[in-house]
Amino acid sequence: MRKNIVAGNWKMNNDLKATKKLVKQIKKTLKKDKLKNTRVIVAPTFVNLTAAVKRSKKSKIEVAAQNMHQAANGAFTGEISAEMLRSAGVKTVILGHSERRAYFGETDALLAEKVNTALANNIEVIFCFGEELADRKAGKEEAVVGGQIKNALFHLEADAFNKIVLAYEPVWAIGTGETASPEQAQDMHSFIRKNLADQYGNDVAENVSILYGGSVKPANAQEIFSKPDVDGGLIGGASLKAEDFCAIINAF
Ligand code: PEP
């Protein structure tokens, strides 16, 4: 059965002290009894992963990285490998975030390579994708999203999807305060699940968690998460405050 997941993408925020403090606050605020089928993930910046892993031990909090290089090792100054993440105790990586695509030129082809490397190292992938405003205005959102998933993931065998979480993040809703309506999210998530079913069959489609991301906050989380094909959220801004992040988790 697929799990509910709330993942916080901290982006380039929080120094070491703030990282330790936020993990501690989330640990304290989470209501354990409400978390039976819900995973809680936080993604601090690379340099603070080890501290976050250490601080989240013996709690429900899992730690993810925000990015990873596709090569095993070598002359790639400034980059971080899958093996390095594993050795830091990290078991999940976010790949394909729209900011990586927009500011660092990450393409579907590159992301396909990164996905392969993560899975080969037994690292779970939270794979992000989503259309831009112009795509939606032109009625092309399904074509864009369908293409992103196909290009980066549909070369995989079915069992790879045990280690993949999908995150639909319409670019026009990220960090803008603009949220897709619960109906828009549901429509897209249902389209994504149908694509998975067509490619891999119902078993795979039904077992993959599909998260929504884009200005989720305590005030709108419950309505979005109540949709049948929305299995949780990837949260940016609201994940930086323990109170808001935990209120979103408790929306389940
Ligand atoms: C994100 O960056 O993945 C995101 C969803 O950000 P925000 O919640 O701030 O829109």
Structure confidence by residue, pLDDT tens digits, 133-182 = 999 999 999 999 999 999 999 999 999 999 999 999 999 998 888 889 99
pLDDT of res. 179: 86
Q: How far is the CA of 251 from the centre of ligand 1 (A)?
A: 17
Contact in structure between 72 and 117 (CB atoms under 8 Å): yes
Tell me the C-alpha distance between 223 and 212, whole Å.
12
Instruction: Name the residue with the closest Cα to ligand 1, atom 8.
Output: 236
For residue 61, give the DSSP letter.
Answer: E
Tell me the C-alpha distance between 247 and 252, whole Å.
9
- In order of 140, 188, 199, the CA distances from 214 in angstroms are 19, 13, 27
pLDDT of res. 216: 95
Active site residue 169: yes
Residue to probe by mutation, ligand 1, list 235, 245, 249, most atoms within 8 Å of CB: 235
Tell me the C-alpha distance between 66 and 53, whole Å.
14
pTM for the predicted model, two decimal places: 0.97
> Ligand 1 — pocket residues by CB below 6 A?
9, 169, 174-175, 213-216, 234-238
- At 197, which helix (H) or strand (E)? helix 182-200
Contact in structure between 154 and 114 (CB atoms under 8 Å): no
Phi, psi of 213 (to 5 degrees): -135, 140
Taking residues 32-36, report their average pLDDT: 70
CB atoms within 10 A of CB 105: 8
Which atom of ligand 1 lies nearest, measured to the CA of 237?
Answer: 9
For residue 3, give the DSSP letter.
Answer: P
For residue 132, give the DSSP letter.
Answer: -
Q: Which residues contact 134 (CB under 8 A, 6 or more apart)?
A: none
Which atom of ligand 1 lies nearest, measured to the CA of 176?
Answer: 10
Question: Domains of the chain by range and CATH?
Answer: 4-249 (3.20.20.70)
pLDDT of res. 247: 95
- The per-type count for the chain, helices as H runs and strands as E runs, is 11, 8
Contact in structure between 188 and 145 (CB atoms under 8 Å): yes
Instruction: Name the residue with the closest Cα to ligand 1, atom 6.
Output: 236
